[in-house]
């Protein structure tokens, strides 16, 4: 599972990034629709999955740091503006997930189902625990660790089941994004 | 390679089945599983009918079938009638739902006539599992401001934490970050009601005075302290009192009057 990678410094290719960004914006719109309207109708014991964590993780794994952080900020701010009274926690935590995803990419293979599942579990934990902890500090409320971990366990299970089901789609989409970015970098690599 | 692919597809199918089962098992009310019975009936009915017909033939009890063509004709007529009635019923249900929504808004305005209010619809609910904020279809252009109290027909809902031009966000009283200063209506004791992660229909009552005499079923309402909530708005009733070895740690559980899972129409109080 361990992966050795010889990374090269790559320049950003603006046209390819714009193209990928438009596609990612459309995907974000679709995921937002599913998260806000469909999954509340089919929860597991009242708990819904977190599609945004998987979304940013995939961008970090198959895309690059820049895209993961950009979309972490865009989607996080959008979510906070829509629902939260504190703006900044969700973008910060999604950026962290994106950053960690690129680190995961250098550690594990993204071709194996099991390694993607482990990454989803870790990312969901980091995102939810970090968000809840920061929120409790800023809004000054008591942490209910027992209930929190109970909810988190079900959310993790839901995220893992979705990852297993959509593993093929995730991989295809991810490699499409990776190919597009690499092809465009053929002419702009600093050797 | 091909075998691995088959295993992958099989694994995906099994996962989908597990997911569907989990969703069904955790959402379906087991007392309402009459469809299982009707499914059983559907399977057994052809056999049962066949056996009965055979029995009638053998015992000569089949005179009914002489009028089969008449019955078929009548059945056709009844089916047509039934279809017409179903269409009428659907129209009636649409009108009824519209009427109920308008009535609800009207009742709300009458009930809280002492306050200046703006009626609003809940258009979205928090997508996170750890919060319960609501989004309303009214904003600053309708006169909504931050810290305005939001109520429903049954009682207190929360307050406005963020007002945009077209929409506003409500912090619901059951949110873990919410706390409301309250009064117990029978004893007039001041307590604090906090939201919890555990349940979005209950609040935890803390800071109960040591000499306070709480009773299950007591009504809880806002005290007006804290500059956010107007005074005297019903919150809920005490469902359970939990006494600990240390009497200062005792707390109570309040069941909220508002059913947040079915909340669709609210009023925003614009004055206090």
CATH code assigned at B126: 2.40.10.340
How many distinct structural domains can be found in chain A?
1
pLDDT at A184 over 60: no
For the beta carbon of residue A112, count every other beta carbon within 10 angstroms.
Answer: 12
Question: Is residue B169 less than 8 Å (CB to CB) from chain A?
Answer: yes
What per-residue confidence (pLDDT) applies to B228?
A: 82
Mean pLDDT of chain B: 81
Residue B33 scores a pLDDT above 80: no
Q: How many domains does chain B have?
A: 2
Place of tokens 């979309």: A71
Do B258 and B128 have their domain in common?
A: yes
ipTM: 0.77
Q: Can you give the pLDDT at residue B171?
A: 92
- Residue B216's pLDDT band (boundaries 50, 70, 90)? confident
Whether residue A154 lies inside any domain: the answer is yes
Q: Which residues of B217-237 are buried (b: 16+ CB within 10 A; e: fewer)?
A: ebbbbbbbeeebbbeebbbbe
Instruction: Show the CA angle centred on residue A144, arms to residues A138 and A150, nearest 5°.
Output: 125
Average pLDDT on B62-89 reads 80
Domain presence at residue B61: no
Q: Which of B27, B197, B263 to mutate to test the interface with A (most CBs of A within 10 A)?
A: B197
Closest CB to A82 among B23, B130, B135: B135
In this prediction, residues B91-114 reach a mean pLDDT of 72
Provide the domain limits for residue B105: 69-109
- Verify whether the Cβ–Cβ distance A151 to B197 is below 8 Å: yes
- Bigger pLDDT: B226 vs B247: B226
- Mean pLDDT of the B163-190 span: 88
The pLDDT of residue A8 = 46
**For residue range A16-64, what is the model confidence (pLDDT) as tens digits?**
788 889 999 999 999 999 999 899 999 998 899 999 999 999 999 988 8
B135 and A144 within 8 Å at the Cβ level: the answer is: no
Spatial distance between the Cα atoms of A177 and B182, rounded to a whole number of angstroms: 55
B158/B216 same-domain check: yes
Is pLDDT of B199 > 70? yes
CATH for A49: 1.10.1760
- The pLDDT of residue B7 is 72
Looking at chain A from residue 125 to 154, which residues have their Cβ under 8 Å from any Cβ of chain B? Answer: 128, 131-132, 135-136, 139-142, 144, 147-148, 151
Higher pLDDT, A9 or A104: A104
Write the DSSP symbol of residue B174: T
Tell me if B22 and A155 make a contact (CB, 8 A cut-off). no
Same domain? B163 vs B186: yes
pTM here is 0.74
pLDDT digits (tens, 9 = 90+) for B140-153: 999 999 989 999 88
B121 touches chain A (CB under 8 A): no
**Which tops the pLDDT comparison, A72 or B43?**
A72
């Amino acid at each position: 599972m361990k992966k050795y990678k010889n990374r090269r410094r790559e320049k950003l290719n603006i046209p390819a990034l714009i193209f990928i960004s438009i596609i990612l914006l459309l995907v974000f719109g679709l995921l937002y629709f599913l998260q806000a309207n469909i999954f509340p109708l089919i929860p597991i014991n009242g708990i819904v999955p977190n599609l945004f964590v998987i979304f940013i993780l995939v961008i970090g794994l198959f895309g690059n740091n820049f895209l993961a952080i950009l979309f972490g900020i865009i989607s996080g701010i959008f979510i906070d503006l829509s629902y939260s009274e504190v703006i900044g926690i969700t973008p910060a935590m999604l950026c962290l997930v994106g950053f960690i995803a690129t680190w995961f990419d250098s550690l594990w293979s993204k071709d194996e189902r099991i390694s993607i599942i482990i990454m989803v579990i870790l990312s969901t934990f980091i995102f939810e625990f970090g968000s809840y902890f920061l929120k409790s500090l800023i809004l000054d409320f008591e942490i209910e660790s027992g209930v929190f971990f109970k909810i988190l366990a079900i959310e993790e299970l839901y995220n893992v089941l979705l990852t297993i089901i959509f593993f093929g789609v995730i991989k295809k989409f991810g490699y499409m994004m990776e190919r597009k970015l690499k092809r465009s970098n053929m002419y702009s690599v600093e050797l | 390679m091909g075998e691995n692919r088959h295993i992958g597809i099989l694994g995906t199918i099994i996962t989908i089945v597990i997911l569907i089962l989990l969703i069904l098992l955790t959402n379906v009310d087991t007392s309402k599983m009459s469809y299982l019975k009707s499914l059983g009936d559907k399977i057994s009915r052809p056999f049962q009918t066949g056996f009965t017909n055979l029995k009638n033939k053998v015992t000569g009890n089949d005179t009914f079938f002489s009028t089969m063509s008449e019955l078929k004709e009548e059945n056709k007529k009844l089916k047509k009638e039934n279809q017409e009635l179903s269409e009428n019923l659907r129209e009636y249900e649409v009108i009824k739902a519209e009427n109920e929504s308008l009535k609800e808004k009207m009742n709300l305005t009458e009930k809280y006539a002492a306050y200046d209010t703006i009626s609003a619809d809940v258009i979205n609910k928090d997508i996170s599992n750890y919060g319960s904020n609501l989004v309303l279809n009214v904003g600053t252009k309708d006169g909504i401001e931050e810290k305005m109290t939001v109520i429903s027909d049954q009682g207190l809902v929360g307050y406005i934490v963020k007002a945009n031009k077209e929409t506003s966000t409500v912090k619901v009283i059951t949110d873990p970050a919410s706390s409301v200063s309250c009064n117990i209506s029978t004893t007039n004791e001041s307590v604090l009601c906090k939201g919890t992660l555990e349940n979005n229909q209950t609040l935890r009552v803390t800071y109960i005075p040591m000499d306070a005499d709480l009773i299950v079923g007591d009504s809880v309402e806002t005290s007006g302290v804290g500059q956010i909530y107007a005074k005297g708005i019903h919150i809920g009733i005490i469902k359970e009192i939990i006494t600990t070895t240390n009497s200062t740690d005792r707390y109570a559980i309040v069941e909220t009057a508002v059913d947040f899972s079915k909340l669709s129409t609210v009023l925003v109080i614009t004055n206090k």
